C-alpha cells in the first residue's frame, strides 16, 4: 500500500448517467462533443466498453465494487449493497485519499447495520461507503432547488424534487431555468469552488452528473445549440410482429410520462415528432455535459494540477432512445449496456482507441494499479493499464452483463409474465460475432451480429445457428463458475497449518 502522499496523483472520476456509448462524435457518434474530443486527444478511449447491470443502482454497484451483479447482488434500485463488498472509494481512503462526492451514487445501505427506525432503511439513494460529501444531488435535489428558488423561480409546495422543476413547462418547451442555472451547471460550480480551495495534498473527486438522464428537457441555450434536423432517428426502430414475452410486457407497461414532462403514451407508438423532440432534448442535455467537462479540464489546467491528475470519464449505463421502440435502460440491447470510457494518465500518450471488449468492473482494478491501492481477492475486473501504452497479450473476447427486472413493490413484470420475482432476470453473453440472452423460464434469444448488427432478428430457433446457441450457454456457465466468491475458499487448513493464498484466488481469464 502506498503511504507517501507527495508523489500520489490527483484523481477526477466523472460519470454521466444514461450516456450511450455510440454518442460522442470522436468515436463515430452523431453528437458534436468538442470537449470530449479534445480530452480523447490526451486520453485512451475504450470504444467497446460495457456496463455489467442496469438500472442505475446495480450499474454503479458493479462499477464501484469491481464485481459482477451475481456476486454483489445489488440487482435493482433499492436493493441494499452488502457491506462486506468494499468500494473503490474505501480502498482509496485506506491509502490516504479523502474521496469526495459531487452528485450521487444510488447506493442503498446494508439495512443490517441500521437501526429499525433509521430513515436510510427506506431510501435507495444512499452514498457509497468511503465517500465524503461535497454536494449531494439525489432525486430531491434540495441544494439545486434552493438555488433556483433564490434565483426567483417559483416551485409550488410541497417540493417533490427535480421532476417537479421540469413539469413547470410543457412538453417540448425549454426548461424553466437558464443554462447557467441548470443542475449540470450547478454541480460543476460546486466542484470548481471545491477545487479552488484545494491545497497541496492529493485529492480524489467523484463527479456524478445526472444528465442526460430523464426528464428529457433542457435549457433553451442548449436546445438552440443543436439543430433537431441533424439528429438521426432510431437506427433500430420498432416494427410490429411476433415478439419476445418480455418485450410484450414492456409495450404494455412503459409510458412516456416517466421520461419527459407533461406527456404520456406508449414509447413504441410515439409519433416521429415526439421521437425527434425527445431525442433533441437528450442531445441538448448531453451537449451541456460536454461543455461543463470542458470547464473542469480547463480549471485543472489553470490551477496547474492537470499534469498530476488522473482523469477518468465513464457512465453507469446507456439509453434505448426509441431503439426497438423502447426508452430507458432495460431488456438486453447494446443501447442500454454500451457506455463511454476515457482514461487520461499523466505520462501516457493520448489519442489511443481501444477496440477490445472492456467492462465497467475494470475501473476498480485499474485504480488499484495506478494508485498502488490494496487489491481485493474478489475483484472480477482486470486492470486496463496495459492498454495505456500497448495491447496485452491475452484479453477477453466477450462481455457479460445481466438485468433483473423484478419489482418487489408492484410486481409489474412478474404479474404480466406469470413468473416469481426470483426468475425475473436475464443474462447476456456478447462477442464480436453473436449475442446470446439467457432467461430461466422465458425463451432465449440469439443474434448473429455479423449479419444483422442492430439486433433485430432472433436466430435462436434457426438450426444453422445451433453452434452459437451452444457456445453462448457454455460461455455463460463457465463465466459463472470462473467468478465465484473466493474470500475464504482460497485457503485450506490441514494438520495445523493454513495453506493457500488470497493472491492465488484470482481466476485465470
Positions marked catalytic: 56
Q: Is 170 exposed, middle or buried (0-12, 13-18, 19+ CB in 10 A)?
A: exposed
Q: Which three cell numbers stand for residue 435?
A: 449475442
Whole-number Å distance between alpha carbons of 14 and 312: 6
Contacts of 332 (CB under 8 A, 6+ apart): 403, 426, 428, 435, 437, 445
Q: Which three cell numbers stand for residue 417?
A: 409474465
DSSP 252-276: HH--GGGTSTT--S-GGG--HHHHH
Q: Is the Cβ–Cβ distance between 174 and 218 less than 8 Å? A: yes
Other residues' Cβ atoms within 10 Å of the Cβ of residue 62: 28
Q: Is the Cβ–Cβ distance between 90 and 401 less than 8 Å? A: no
Task: Give me the numbers of helices (H) and strands (E) for the chain, helices first please.
Answer: 14, 15
Four-CA torsion 370, 316, 14, 155, nearest 10 degrees? -160
Q: Which three cell numbers stand for residue 19?
A: 450516456
The size of the chain, in residues, is 509
Segment (H or E) for 482: helix 466-482
Q: What's the half-sphere exposure (Cβ side, CA atoms, 13 Å) at 357?
A: 19
Assign residue 171 a region: left if phi > 0, alpha if psi is -120 to 50, beta otherwise?
A: beta
Of 467, 460, 462, 429, give the one whose Cα is nearest residue 444: 460
Amino acid at each position: 500500500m502506498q503511504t507517501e502522499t507527495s508523489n500520489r496523483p490527483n484523481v477526477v472520476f466523472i460519470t454521466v448517467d444514461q450516456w450511450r456509448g455510440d454518442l460522442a462524435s470522436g468515436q463515430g457518434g452523431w453528437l458534436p462533443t468538442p470537449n470530449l474530443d479534445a480530452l480523447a486527444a490526451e486520453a485512451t478511449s475504450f470504444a467497446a466498453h460495457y456496463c455489467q447491470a442496469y438500472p442505475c443502482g446495480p450499474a454503479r454497484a458493479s462499477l464501484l465494487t469491481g464485481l459482477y451483479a451475481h456476486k454483489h447482488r445489488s440487482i435493482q434500485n433499492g436493493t441494499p449493497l452488502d457491506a462486506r463488498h468494499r468500494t473503490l472509494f474505501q480502498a482509496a481512503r485506506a491509502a490516504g485519499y479523502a474521496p469526495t462526492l459531487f452528485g450521487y451514487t444510488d447506493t442503498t445501505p446494508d439495512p443490517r447495520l441500521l437501526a429499525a427506525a433509521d430513515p436510510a432503511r427506506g431510501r435507495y439513494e444512499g452514498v457509497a461507503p468511503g465517500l465524503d460529501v461535497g454536494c449531494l444531488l439525489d432525486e430531491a435535489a434540495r441544494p439545486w432547488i434552493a438555488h433556483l428558488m433564490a434565483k426567483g423561480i417559483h416551485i409550488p409546495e410541497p417540493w417533490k424534487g427535480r421532476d417537479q422543476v421540469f413539469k413547470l413547462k410543457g412538453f417540448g418547451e425549454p426548461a424553466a431555468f437558464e443554462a447557467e442555472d441548470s443542475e449540470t451547471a450547478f454541480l460543476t460550480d460546486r466542484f470548481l469552488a471545491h477545487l479552488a480551495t484545494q491545497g497541496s495534498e492529493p485529492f480524489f473527486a467523484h463527479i456524478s452528473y445526472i444528465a442526460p438522464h430523464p426528464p428529457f428537457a433542457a435549457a433553451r441555450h442548449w436546445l438552440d445549440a443543436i439543430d433537431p434536423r441533424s439528429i438521426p432517428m432510431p437506427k433500430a426502430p420498432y416494427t410490429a410482429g411476433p415478439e419476445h414475452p418480455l418485450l410484450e410486457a414492456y409495450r404494455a407497461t412503459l409510458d412516456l410520462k416517466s421520461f419527459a414532462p407533461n406527456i404520456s403514451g406508449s414509447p413504441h407508438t410515439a409519433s416521429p415528432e415526439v421521437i425527434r423532440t425527445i431525442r433533441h432534448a437528450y442531445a441538448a442535455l448531453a451537449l451541456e455535459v460536454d461543455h461543463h467537462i470542458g470547464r473542469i479540464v480547463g480549471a485543472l489546467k489553470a490551477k496547474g494540477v492537470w499534469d498530476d491528475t488522473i482523469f477518468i470519464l465513464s457512465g453507469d449505463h446507456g439509453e434505448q432512445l426509441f431503439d426497438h421502440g423502447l426508452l430507458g435502460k432495460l431488456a438486453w440491447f447494446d443501447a442500454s449496456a454500451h457506455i463511454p470510457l476515457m482514461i487520461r494518465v499523466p505520462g501516457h500518450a493520448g489519442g489511443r482507441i481501444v477496440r477490445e471488449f472492456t467492462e465497467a468492473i475494470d475501473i476498480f482494478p485499474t485504480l488499484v494499479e495506478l494508485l498502488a491501492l490494496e487489491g481485493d481477492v474478489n475483484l472480477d475486473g482486470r486492470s486496463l493499464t496495459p492498454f495505456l501504452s500497448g495491447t496485452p497479450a491475452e484479453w477477453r473476447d466477450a462481455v457479460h452483463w445481466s438485468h433483473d427486472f423484478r419489482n418487489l413493490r408492484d410486481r409489474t413484470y412478474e404479474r404480466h409474465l406469470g413468473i416469481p420475482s426470483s426468475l425475473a432476470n436475464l443474462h447476456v453473453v456478447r462477442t464480436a460475432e453473436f449475442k446470446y440472452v439467457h432467461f430461466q423460464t422465458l425463451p432465449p434469444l440469439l443474434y448473429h451480429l455479423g449479419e444483422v448488427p442492430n439486433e433485430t432478428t432472433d436466430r435462436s430457433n434457426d438450426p444453422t445457428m445451433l453452434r452459437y446457441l451452444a457456445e453462448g450457454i457454455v460461455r455463460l456457465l463457465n463465466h459463472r463458475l470462473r467468478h465465484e466468491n473466493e474470500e475464504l475458499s482460497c485457503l485450506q487448513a490441514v494438520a495445523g497449518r493454513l495453506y493457500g493464498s488470497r493472491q492465488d484466488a484470482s481466476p485465470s481469464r
